[in-house]
């Protein structure tokens, strides 16, 4: 399989780092990609930050040579998707981080507290009852409910904590309306990553830590998959899953060693 891989799509949270802590093999992984001139895209469901923010984070961890075109987030995918469907100036209420808000503003949307036509929800580390209440009332009043991604949990240094999917579930329960999901495992995220990598599915490897989004979504497009056990999944959850990745590694060092023949 290694010789057929020409490009790599990699998740970030749980693969490259946990919160602000780099995982073992981070710098070696990027040295491996640059030395072999392998096209790559980092595709994350985390909508809190912009691609530029992730470039800065990687630089702070000792990884140089990354630029925003290497990164696709569920926030960028959401902004691009909505931009194709709604005119500039469309009123949007956001439950999410500063990066998501910035991306939607840059895409021409008007961020409002009242009278929104769209409610866009992603990970929000400052979630409050008032935000959930406002989103619920807007959706019940006719606003379309958009979710950046369905991840129920988020890998942090302390362990798994609530993710965007948990917030979506809360608002769905209160509003009686299910969100339209943009990020992984939906096709849009993977198609955007493939375009940016300039690669075909059959020659691409997806590296992720979550079966329900990274692995299932990639396999639906015919992309080869590798699961690392440094994020969400465990050996027990892997054994219990009906979906199985093509490759499984304890972490990045083991993955690099196995792919050394590329």
Contact by Cβ (8 Å): 216, 227: no
Cα diameter, the chain? 57
Catalytic residue among 11, 124, 151, 214: 11
- DSSP notation for 95-122: ES-HHHHHHHHHTTPEE-SSS-SEEEE-
User: Does residue 185 have a cis peptide bond before it, meaning omega lies within 30 degrees of 0?
Assistant: yes
Task: For residue 106, indicate whether it is catalytic.
Answer: no
Q: Of 141, 138, 148, whose CA–CA distance to 93 is shortest?
A: 138
Q: How far apart are CA 120 and CA 104, in angstroms?
A: 10
Residues annotated as part of the active site: 11, 13
């Amino acid at each position: 399989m290694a010789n057929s891989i020409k490009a790599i799509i990699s998740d970030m949270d749980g693969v490259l780092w946990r919160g602000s802590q780099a995982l073992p093999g981070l710098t070696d992984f990027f040295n491996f990609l640059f030395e072999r001139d392998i096209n790559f895209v980092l595709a994350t469901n985390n909508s809190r930050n912009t691609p530029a923010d992730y470039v800065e984070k990687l630089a702070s961890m000792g990884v140089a040579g990354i630029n925003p075109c290497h990164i696709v987030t569920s926030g960028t995918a959401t902004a691009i998707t909505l931009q194709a469907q709604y005119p500039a100036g469309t009123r949007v209420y956001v439950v999410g981080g500063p990066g998501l808000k910035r991306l939607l503003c840059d895409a021409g949307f008007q961020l409002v507290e009242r009278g929104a036509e769209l409610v866009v929800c992603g990970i929000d580390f400052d979630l409050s009852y008032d935000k959930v209440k406002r989103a619920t009332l807007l959706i019940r009043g006719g606003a379309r409910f958009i979710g950046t991604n369905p991840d129920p949990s988020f890998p942090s240094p302390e362990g798994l904590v609530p993710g965007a999917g948990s917030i979506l579930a809360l608002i769905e329960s209160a509003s009686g309306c299910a969100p339209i999901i943009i990020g992984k495992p939906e096709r849009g995220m993977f198609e955007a990553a493939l375009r940016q990598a300039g690669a075909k599915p059959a020659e691409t490897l997806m590296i992720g830590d979550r079966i329900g989004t990274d692995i299932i979504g990639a396999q639906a497009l015919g992309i080869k998959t590798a699961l690392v056990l440094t994020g969400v999944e465990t050996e027990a959850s892997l054994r219990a899953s009906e979906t199985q990745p093509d490759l499984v590694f304890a972490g990045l060092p083991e993955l690099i060693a196995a792919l050394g023949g590329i």
